[in-house]
Structure 1
Amino acid sequence: MRCDSALRVEGAPRVVAVGDVARFADPRYDATARRVERWCIPTDTAGHAARTLVAALAGEESDAPAFAPLPSFWSDQRPPAAVPRRAGPGRRGAAAGGRRPGTGGRLLPDR
């Protein structure tokens, strides 16, 4: 469902969308509405949408800033099962926040 920056469904000001179904523009990047499929999006959008909906039902505008979730990810990279354990414990990648295109990153071994 396409939403505005307060997670109101376009064309239905007293309806909000949360979780993977909500498509919204992230003010950190551009005006393109996108779905964000991350484990934390249902709870992050729910809190923001609740403030929007409570304000709408009271006949007021929400004073919350535009919804802009913090980008994050993690990934565990392990050797395939067929590779002997002596190949090492694997690596874990994690990040929070944004970075500019063309900047590097690195994987650190597990401790």
Structure 2
Amino acid sequence: MPTDLSTPEARAAAILKAIRAVPAGQVAGYGEIARRAGLPGRARLVAQVLRKYGAPDLPWHRILRSDGSIAFEEGSRGWREQSQRLRAEGVRVVKGKVVGQRAAASLDEQLWGQGD
């Protein structure tokens, strides 16, 4: 049975659950998190939830733009922290962009690889 996403709290909970499910050393795009939460097309809502409901244990640093880049302004405190956290997990970050992974990969692509 599908989850009821009719309230802002339920949508936020689904988004936070999807963020927490991204394993260490992996990344996902805002749009992919929205899709995994049952909210396709709501990438901006993911960013809003991160701003509003961020928690110390939330792996927010694993969430990127669909092109694999960090959303914070280059050189900002958030940009530096996200880069450091990703590198600490073994993710290669060059000039604010993750190299070697696709941020927007679907769960199927992560499990089974990209199609030809």
Instruction: Report the TM-score range of the alignment, normalised by the length of the smaller protein.
Output: under 0.3
TM-score by length of 1: 0.24
**Larger Rg, first or second structure (1 or 2):** 1
